[in-house]
Structure 1
Amino acid sequence: METILTIDHLNKKFGKIHAVKDVSFEIKKGNVYGILGPNGSGKSTTLGIILNVVNKTSGNYKWFDGKTDTHHALKKVGAIIERPNFYPYMTAEENLKLVCDIKGIHYDKVDEKLEVVGLSDRKDSPFRTFSLGMKQRLAIASALLNDPEILILDEPTNGLDPQGIRQIRDIIKHIASLGTTILLASHLLDEVEKVCTHVIVLRKGEVLYSGSVHEIMASEGFFELQSENNAELKALLQHHSAVDKIDEEDGKLYVFLKSPLEATDLNRYLFQNNISLQHLVKRKHSLEEQFLQLTNHQ
């Protein structure tokens, strides 16, 4: 699979603030990547560096396996890293044609990209009449005019209402289905879980996890258990080879696993050791739970 972007031990310092700390990851063609982290985690700074608008302190990055220099590589990149900035008195179509003039792109791309973002019926409306969500969709259309190989979005649903968020998510999925690689930065776990195939988790400028969304969520999970004698139940389970740790809350044991264990096998094991359960539920970690575990352990 072709590598679109390689980031290798990237660092950025603003005075005493180490905003990006030894960050490394790869972006492969055809996937949707989410850089996930709270505000101040280094997401926007990392994007700024690879888009050549922020100077790195040290480390390296290369586009398209290093076969193209950054200046020419960025011609194959579409990006929105700031709020949309169009002329308010001009129509959607006129604003996009102006972008075409600046970038040397044929006008026939305008209608095509307005269709992609669902704004064809508003192409003759002045930009000032657009809602925040429509402005963001027009910005995405603008970033797509050059048919980029990768689309980079910084907090694409920030400030939008639930309907606007859903529209942007659907557009991102549609663009990805057409074969465009996407890299988006977000502090919203739900956004990354619903849209992305891969995730890079950042905290205070450091990478805590880099891999597929499926893998980060596909841990062995945990059991909720309860019996007449939880102390006896806990003592027995502490010696089980599949058990990682046990927490107790509100009369229930939360048994976290380090290797696979099915509910039927656990129930049989406990019954053979003279323990009958009043409550047994097996759960999987959500992305939110995994993210909190990652960030709380640092």
Structure 2
Amino acid sequence: MEQILQITNLSKHYGALKAVDDVSFTIEKGHVYGILGPNGSGKSTTLGMVLNVVNPTSGDYQWFGGGVSNHDALKRIGAIIERPNFYPSMDAVQNLKLVCKIKNITTDKINEKLELVGLLSRKHSPFKTYSLGMKQRLAIASALLNDPEILILDEPTNGLDPQGIRAIRDLIQHISSNGTTILLASHLLDEVEKVCSHVIVLRQGNMLYSGPVDEMNSTHGTILIDASDRGGLKYFISQQSYAGSIEELVDGFEVMLLSDIDTAQVNKDAVQAGIYLNKLLLKKQSLEDQFIELTNNQPQAS
């Protein structure tokens, strides 16, 4: 898989404050990545470093496999890391023409990008008449004018109402479906779960996880299992390779799974052992459960 960005042991310290501390991960072409973490976890600082607006304290990063300068790499990147900042009295076309002039690119993609973000019918309306969601979509259009290989978004739905959040989410998925790699920073678990294939979890500058969203936690969920013969059931479960911790509840045993299971096979194996189940429920962890478990298991900064 082609590498878009390789980050190696990247750190940014402000005196004793470690805003980002020894972070390493890889962005590969064709995926949607989320940098997930609470406010102050180092998401924006990480993006600032790879976009050459924040100087790293230590570590390194390489765009597009190396061998390309930061200046040339930035020509292949589209990014929004601050609030949309356009001239209020100018319309969308006028503002985007100015962006093209600053980026030294042609203006022939303006209508195409406005149509992509759903603003073509409002292209001659002054920017000051736009809703916050429209302003954000115009910013995304501006970042796409150079047909970037990767689009970087910092908290793209921050402050939007549910309708605006849905519009941005749909737009991200559409852009990704056309082959553009996307890296977005967010503190919203729901946002990352719905649009991202991969996630990097940060907390207080430390990276807790990097990988596919659906493999974020080492556990595979839990099962709630019960039988009239509780003693026999507990012994049976304790002998299974997929069983981790076993907690006895009022309505059965909750078993932490160490691997994926086939519930039909579990029931069959129990019958063969003389255990007749009256309850077998599989519960997969949500991204929220996994995120809370990851962050709660980390020591707090002193």
Superposed pair shares fold, TM > 0.5: yes
Deviations 1:187-238 (A, max 9, x none): 1121111111211111221121111223337953321123446566335423
Deviations 1:142-167 (A, max 9, x none): 11111111110001011111111111
The 8 Å contact of residues 19 and 205 in structure 1, kept in 2 or not, is answered as yes
Long gaps (5+) in structure 2? none
Deviation at 1:19, TM superposition (A): 1.1
Distance 1:180 1:120 in 2: 21
Determine the structure 2 residue equivalent to 1:10.
Answer: 10
Distance 2:192 2:250 in 1: 32
Distance 1:227 1:155 in 2: 48
The 8 Å contact of residues 149 and 180 in structure 2, kept in 1 or not, is answered as yes
Distance 1:162 1:66 in 2: 40
Deviation at 1:266, TM superposition (A): 2.2
The 1:270–1:133 alpha-carbon spacing in structure 2 relative to 1, beyond 3 Å, is: same
Distance 1:166 1:218 in 2: 30
Distance 2:188 2:291 in 1: 11
Deviations 1:154-187 (A, max 9, x none): 0101111111111101111111112111100111
Superposed, 1:238-249 pairs within 5 Å as: 238-249=238-249
Deviation at 1:42, TM superposition (A): 0.8
Distance 2:14 2:135 in 1: 32
Given the alignment of the two structures, is residue 106 of structure 1 paired with residue 112 of structure 2, yes or no? no
Distance 1:118 1:159 in 2: 19
Provide TM-score, normalisation by structure 2. 0.92
The 8 Å contact of residues 33 and 199 in structure 1, kept in 2 or not, is answered as yes
Given the alignment of the two structures, is residue 57 of structure 1 paired with residue 50 of structure 2, yes or no? no
Percentage of identical aligned residues: 62
Determine the structure 2 residue equivalent to 1:34.
Answer: 34
Amino acid corresponding to residue 34 of structure 1 in structure 2: G
How many residues were matched structurally?
A: 298
Deviations 1:258-294 (A, max 9, x none): 1343212322333444443332111222222222222
Determine the structure 2 residue equivalent to 1:201.
Answer: 201
Determine the structure 2 residue equivalent to 1:154.
Answer: 154
Provide TM-score, normalisation by structure 1. 0.93
The root-mean-square deviation of aligned C-alpha atoms, in Å, is: 1.9
Distance 1:237 1:277 in 2: 12
Amino acid corresponding to residue 71 of structure 1 in structure 2: H
The 8 Å contact of residues 78 and 143 in structure 2, kept in 1 or not, is answered as yes
Query: Which has the larger displacement, 250-259 or 159-168?
Result: 250-259
Distance 2:252 2:22 in 1: 41
Given the alignment of the two structures, is residue 22 of structure 1 paired with residue 22 of structure 2, yes or no? yes
Distance 1:89 1:37 in 2: 36
Amino acid corresponding to residue 256 of structure 1 in structure 2: M
The 8 Å contact of residues 88 and 126 in structure 2, kept in 1 or not, is answered as yes
Determine the structure 1 residue equivalent to 2:45.
Answer: 45
**SS in structure 2 opposite 1:281?**
strand
The 8 Å contact of residues 33 and 183 in structure 1, kept in 2 or not, is answered as yes
The 8 Å contact of residues 219 and 256 in structure 2, kept in 1 or not, is answered as no
The 1:163–1:227 alpha-carbon spacing in structure 2 relative to 1, beyond 3 Å, is: same
**SS in structure 1 opposite 2:125?**
coil
Distance 1:284 1:217 in 2: 11
Deviation at 1:31, TM superposition (A): 1.3
Determine the structure 1 residue equivalent to 2:226.
Answer: 226
The 1:161–1:250 alpha-carbon spacing in structure 2 relative to 1, beyond 3 Å, is: farther
